[in-house]
Structure 1
Amino acid sequence: MKKTFYTLGMALFLAAPLTSCDKKLAIDPVNNVNADKALETSSDVEAALVGTYTGLQAVGSYGGYIQLTSDLLADNGEESFVGTFSDPPQIFRKNILRDNGFVSTIWINAYSTINRANNVLANIDKLDSSAKRSRVEGEAKFIRAALYFELVRLFAKDWSDGTPSANPGVPLVLTPTKVLDASSQVKRNTVAEVYTQVLADLTDAETKMKAGGALPAFAANSAAEISTFAAAGMLSRVYLQQNRFPEAADAANRAIAGPFSLTSTYAAEFRSGASNTTEDIFAVQISAQSGSNALSTFYKTRGDVSIEDKHFNQYGTTDERRTLFTVTSGKRLSGKFDAVNGVGSNVKVIRLAEMLLTRAEANFRAGTTVGATPLADVNRVRARVGLTPLVALTLPAILLERKLELAFEGFRLGDLKRNKESVTEPLPGTAVLPWNSPRLIFPIPKRETDINPNLEQNEAYK
């Protein structure tokens, strides 16, 4: 596999720190360690890891843009963007301009955070114990892998679309970038190369974090820190996207084996405020001082996303998830991400219900019963929201349960592509786009291709 260094001119220099939300981090110096700063001590490296976590908190990452934009791009008449922002409607209509601000922010934030992770990994030997070295290396590799997985799914063809070893993915940058020069004019690695790196990082992370060590100072509890269970959970997502069902079932089963349980109600999982729940395998921490949960803003506070009858009517009349929708000024809104005390709740990145549904689907497709039967896993999720148990199971029933349980959490685009589902263009509403349409891929941001002539633009945007 080819190593590359990126210009990613803007992302780089980390200096463009993520988004305006990051300015709030200045109140806590440990969260503001520059990624290009020379790390000299064990404490420096641990502080740099904390700074890497802040990249995941940003609105351009798991703070909201990744989930919102991927769901809007995959929408098939089940939601509409009715807000005043100019960039999301382009994504919703599948007519994205190369200078789309939301798309650019995702790219910039991801590479800035990856560079922070690379800086931590380059200084692992400075940590003062083997346990710390294992833990910190595992966490940094998880962050790098998770963001490369998001990037390759948003900015490149799906794994099942053509030949992954030939299709352009995204540039892989595996060492810290501190100086921009001619070597920064990189090409895109292939989709296969990116997936190979993602799987290698996550596999290593799962192993390394078993060695554990004490939680970092900022971790209020285990869900605030990336763990071996989180690595297994992310591995299950990657394997599912590749249609590697036995591996997906095994990885999900390892994640489920952790000390997790479903919350008593669906609402309790998403309205936990700054607290994590028993269901959270990994959650991005949000407070008035740090991080962003823009999902509560887009889906409820501002009312930017209206939920259509086509989606709402799929919930059974006794389904608790149905009760979280409200109608305001003629728009049906989702209250799933309601703010608590004026602050968005922690963002649930990996949770137990997802793992149960992944294990169910992967086992069903593979004809296996790793950990539990597919029927038992699906009924466990249904029971929590007040639905009667199914007595028999079909693949469409599993996929429907997954869609409703994980609604608005950023899963639709990946699921649409791996299941080869088409979408209808919302305006004028007649063109049907197949799952592998070039318009269901983000453009490489214009500022990137302007800076780097070696960075090939995606087909729909040339």
Structure 2
Amino acid sequence: MKKFKIIYTFIVVLLISACENELDINPTNNLPGELAFNSEVNISSILIGTYEEAGQADSYGGNLQMFTDLLGSSDQLFWNGTFQGYRQAFQKNILNDNIFIDEIWANAYETINQTNLVIDNIETVTSSTEEKNRIEGEAKFLRALNYLDLVKSFGMPYVAGQVNSQLGVPLRLNGIIDYTLDTAIARNTVEEVYTQIIADATDAYNLLPDTSDEFYADKYAAQALLSRTYFQQGNYEAARDAADDVIENSGHSLTSNFASAFNNDNNSSEDIFAFQVTSQTGAHDLTVHYASEADGGRGGDITIEDGYLALFDDANDERANFTYINPINNRRLTLKYTNQFANISIFRIAEMHLIRLESNFKSGTSIGLDPLTEINILRARSSAQPLTSPLTLDLIFNERQLELAFEGFILNDVKRTQQSVGSIAWDDDSLILPIPQSEMDTNPLMVQN
């Protein structure tokens, strides 16, 4: 087991106690506000607590990925569990009092508030310019990451080539200290939210070092975030160039085999950024709901269905065989989540290859590699037979599903490519999360989806 990496937890507990009431956040319940930001140590500690907050089960510790995949799948997954909140996602009928949706929203805005507090008080960091830049860059990376997933989940889909004036999510860019003050805030447009994400991620890329401890984001994590953001916008040239930078310059590479990319206590060569999980801290609800009892799960709340296996064109593809049968209930489960203390990868290099090859294909370019060569490099890693010309968008979309299944991608790929989930169109209201009722009750400026 990797060593315990979170330090200063005593001050994080004091500083970052937030109420569960969406945007009404109290970061200083147990310490006078004027003392919370009076030292570089405190600012650094708040940032460490922000990573911890973001990695909780409510958000990147599993909740967000599972809701995205349950909403985005028709015949690839099945929800067997007893939690009605997840069943609503699987049935594409999510109610606005869904507790898990409330947790996703609240956790994201709690995390954002903590990043805002760091950014607001960045002048407190005086030990060196490098340290100040690092702390500010990490805060902006985390803020941009959370806003990207908020706007993709709660906003109408981004549509390339138009002014995206449809409702997104509220942009809160200043920290809240006194939660008793009026915090009512209206929703920004989807375009405005994406503009802020790109600004933050670009700042992070310019501020962060080339490499860092695996707990923290570096400049290539920010570049991977930019690539994913541009890709979702349909800005394929920018997505291609950002992905190419990560592939060529970050030092990350595909693991030697598919299995080695998962269930790791320490980041693999493939992990550009991952939230850390240990026996003392972090959360891994993906294992809870995907794994057998023997592997730390509930026996398979989410099972892998024949519709996913039918996507494969080669029986020898390691990814097609990356499942197992739970002997207790005979359910087919994915092998991606069998270690309850494994890190949760947010950006891995395989995604960058998939972004670069599709963006090259749509742009008629061959930056880095031509698309056919690149897709076959991924397939070779999994012992799948190479594809031959002509490469098509359908084959590329299929390859993304083979490689990234159950990692929280399918719904946003459907929306980006304007396809459907079964018979449900990509822009149907049922594929957008409702604004939590707790937010509607306390924010008079909020408009429901």
Query: TM-score, normalization: structure 1?
Result: 0.87
- Report the counterpart of residue 12 of structure 1 in structure 2: 24
| Cα shift readout 1:274-315 (whole Å, capped 9, x = no counterpart) | 211111100110000010111111111220001110112223
Q: 1:96 aligns with which of 94, 97, 109?
A: 94
- Report the counterpart of residue 118 of structure 1 in structure 2: 116
Residue 311 (str. 1) matches residue 308 (str. 2): yes
1:245 partner amino acid? Y
1:13 deviation in Å? 1.9
- Report the counterpart of residue 199 of structure 2 in structure 1: 200
2:415 partner amino acid? K
Query: Over aligned residues, Cα RMSD in angstroms?
Result: 2.2
State whether residues 164 and 190 of structure 1, in contact with CA within 8 Å, keep that contact through their aligned partners in structure 2: no
State whether residues 252 and 355 of structure 1, in contact with CA within 8 Å, keep that contact through their aligned partners in structure 2: yes
Closer, same or farther: CA 34–236 of 1 in aligned 2, 3 Å: farther
- Report the counterpart of residue 232 of structure 1 in structure 2: 223
Closer, same or farther: CA 13–182 of 1 in aligned 2, 3 Å: closer
Distance 2:34 2:144 in 1: 20
Residue 277 (str. 1) matches residue 277 (str. 2): no
Distance 1:169 1:365 in 2: 27
State whether residues 8 and 111 of structure 1, in contact with CA within 8 Å, keep that contact through their aligned partners in structure 2: no
State whether residues 158 and 164 of structure 2, in contact with CA within 8 Å, keep that contact through their aligned partners in structure 1: no
Distance 2:399 2:409 in 1: 13
1:165 deviation in Å? 4.0
Residue 332 (str. 1) matches residue 332 (str. 2): yes
State whether residues 152 and 191 of structure 1, in contact with CA within 8 Å, keep that contact through their aligned partners in structure 2: yes
Q: Could you tell me the percent identity over the aligned residues? A: 40
Aligned with 1:413: secondary structure? Answer: helix
- Report the counterpart of residue 62 of structure 1 in structure 2: 60
- Report the counterpart of residue 189 of structure 2 in structure 1: 190
Matches within 5 A, 1:408-423: 408-423=406-421
State whether residues 275 and 346 of structure 1, in contact with CA within 8 Å, keep that contact through their aligned partners in structure 2: yes
State whether residues 10 and 16 of structure 1, in contact with CA within 8 Å, keep that contact through their aligned partners in structure 2: no
| Cα shift readout 1:421-447 (whole Å, capped 9, x = no counterpart) | 1123xxxxxxx2111001110000001
1:85 deviation in Å? 1.1
Distance 2:32 2:67 in 1: 28
Closer, same or farther: CA 255–48 of 1 in aligned 2, 3 Å: same
Matches within 5 A, 1:58-457: 58-127=56-125, 128-160=127-159, 164-180=163-179, 183-210=182-209, 215=212, 221=213, 223-256=214-247, 257-272=249-264, 274-300=265-291, 301-302=297-298, 303-315=300-312, 316-328=314-326, 329-339=329-339, 343-392=340-389, 393-424=391-422, 432-457=423-448
1:306 partner amino acid? T
Distance 2:26 2:382 in 1: 43
- Report the counterpart of residue 3 of structure 1 in structure 2: none
Distance 2:163 2:370 in 1: 32
- Report the counterpart of residue 42 of structure 1 in structure 2: 40
Deviates most, 157-166 or 345-354: 157-166
Runs of at least 5 residues in structure 2 that lack an aligned partner in the other structure:
1-18, 292-296
Distance 1:357 1:16 in 2: 43
Distance 1:36 1:376 in 2: 57
1:390 deviation in Å? 2.1
Distance 2:34 2:66 in 1: 31
Distance 1:182 1:52 in 2: 23
Aligned with 1:322: secondary structure? Answer: coil
**Corresponding residue pairs, total:** 419
State whether residues 240 and 356 of structure 2, in contact with CA within 8 Å, keep that contact through their aligned partners in structure 1: yes
State whether residues 79 and 302 of structure 2, in contact with CA within 8 Å, keep that contact through their aligned partners in structure 1: yes
Deviates most, 119-128 or 160-169: 160-169
Aligned with 1:354: secondary structure? Answer: helix
Distance 2:332 2:159 in 1: 35
Runs of at least 5 residues in structure 1 that lack an aligned partner in the other structure:
1-6, 18-31, 216-220, 425-431
1:9 deviation in Å? 3.6
1:438 partner amino acid? D
1:166 deviation in Å? 2.2
Closer, same or farther: CA 375–35 of 1 in aligned 2, 3 Å: farther
| Cα shift readout 1:71-94 (whole Å, capped 9, x = no counterpart) | 111112111111111210001111
Distance 1:266 1:305 in 2: 21
Closer, same or farther: CA 355–197 of 1 in aligned 2, 3 Å: same
| Cα shift readout 1:339-397 (whole Å, capped 9, x = no counterpart) | 1xxx3310010001000011000110011111111122211111111112223222211
Distance 2:310 2:382 in 1: 16
State whether residues 376 and 387 of structure 2, in contact with CA within 8 Å, keep that contact through their aligned partners in structure 1: yes
Aligned with 1:283: secondary structure? Answer: strand
State whether residues 34 and 48 of structure 1, in contact with CA within 8 Å, keep that contact through their aligned partners in structure 2: no
Distance 2:105 2:34 in 1: 19
1:331 partner amino acid? R
Distance 1:323 1:267 in 2: 10
Query: TM-score, normalization: structure 2?
Result: 0.89
1:205 partner amino acid? A
Distance 1:161 1:447 in 2: 32
Distance 2:337 2:226 in 1: 26
1:310 partner amino acid? G
- Report the counterpart of residue 27 of structure 1 in structure 2: none
Distance 1:36 1:259 in 2: 42
Distance 1:169 1:457 in 2: 11
Aligned with 2:332: secondary structure? Answer: strand
1:162 deviation in Å? 9.9
State whether residues 285 and 346 of structure 1, in contact with CA within 8 Å, keep that contact through their aligned partners in structure 2: yes
